[in-house]
Amino acid sequence: MNLAGKKVLLGVSGGIAAYKSCELLRLLQKKGAEVRVCMTEAATQFVAPLTFASLSKCPVYLKNGTMEARPFQHIDFPRWADLYLVVPATANVIGKFACGIADDPVSLCFMSCTCPRVIAPAMNVAMYNSPAVKRNLAVLREFENTTVLESPAGVLACGEVGQGRLMEPAEIVAYLEGASLPLAPVSPGCTKVGEPVEPSATPSPRGSTPKTPDASVLKTAELPPAQDPTLPGYGKKVLITAGRTEEAIDPVRYISNRSSGKTAVAIAATFLANGFDVSVVAGPMEAEFPGGVHVTKIKSARDMHKAVLEQMKNADVLVHCAAVADYRPKVAATEKIKDSRSQLILELEPNPNILRDSVAQKRADQVIIGFALETDHFKEHAAEKLKKSGADALLLNAPVAANSGFGFDEVRYTLIRAAVPANANAVQVEIPEMKMGSKIDLAQEIVDFSLDKLKNA
């Protein structure tokens, strides 16, 4: 199958292998496929829906719905798709598929889709070898237009050895490209008015089995991303600051800003998908990090300053993404300030500059990237901040376009790199044009820059 231009619906159920679905999504996109995602409630405990929404640039179909939810998502999502992949497929969803139970987005889409369905099981070896799972897999192999991929044997996430490991994303893509999967049309009785119906295709044989993928893409162990030696960030550690800080005025009031943390989550997920060990120092925020990220929670800028300087010695890359308050009240009241409706004057003092202080402690082999949010004279202000900080690069973002910036999945940005020519005494700054893109695109640019700097360090 040529994946270019194909519409792929990716169903993710709740197993530790769910993080590999992020990698699969990116591989499918690199082949030219358009991907949308549906998730079980359990899957959201392993990977945050925001990660998939950022990667796919489309809202995720969840049990509790989204702001963009429609009443017939369980029909619309599979009707849109040319192919339905369920990766990973746990024992629970496999049982639902086999028994005709449809009570979550993944099983609802399985029930209503008419396109080819490919299922990749992943579970503990004892579960995989249980009579119930064996029976359910045998039943699914008899379904029309349904392929069940084999689960390779190897070291599982739980430490046991045996069958039940998820087929690697590269293997799944290799199988899809070598398979003859027809694109089944929507049933005539379900076709929307005015919607064209593709010519009928010959269905795949009942009980079809997948081709053995090329041995060059086979791996033998179920490993967390940071332990996968094939990924470019293997053995490297990144420390990211995230969210906003809160500077107390009194026990119930504080100075803060509107940062949601979405950009930091996209950055953490992208570093994780590239094999880095990811740690975060996070202030208050609404977005949630995917599983596998080590999070230190703080409140104030001084708390973040202390945590970063303590943890940075273990990091290869530092990304200062948090929206840190520049100032704090010089004196915070110990009791709530009474409302007298009279004028209140707050005396402020500057918070420590976390970016500059971390650069002062920077090792020669470390990479440090700062952030700058500007609303006017973007490039000039960002270039000056980069020069003063001494960072390797600065991500300039400007939340001035409609439906972008704080709380949104898109942002106007550019990555400004510091370059020091051999014959120059002063730091030179490269200032590319700003562009509108998703926060996951922004994150990938930061990861690519970091990998390039580490390689040439």
Q: Which residues are catalytic?
A: 158
Distance separating alpha carbons of residues 300 and 94, to the nearest angstrom: 46
Question: Is the Cα dihedral 430, 354, 280, 241 positive or negative?
Answer: negative
Distance separating alpha carbons of residues 431 and 376, to the nearest angstrom: 15
The answer to whether 316 and 365 have CB atoms below 8 angstroms apart is yes
Write down how long the chain is.
457
Phi-psi region of 292 (alpha: psi -120 to 50; beta: other; left: phi over 0): left
Q: Which amino acid is at 152?
A: P
Helix axes 131-141, 91-99, angle to 10 degrees: 50
Distance separating alpha carbons of residues 418 and 256, to the nearest angstrom: 30
Tell me the longest C-alpha to C-alpha distance in the chain: 80
The distance in angstroms from the start CA to the end CA of the chain is 41
Helix axes 439-455, 262-273, angle to 10 degrees: 50
Cβ neighbours of 226 (radius 10 Å)? 20
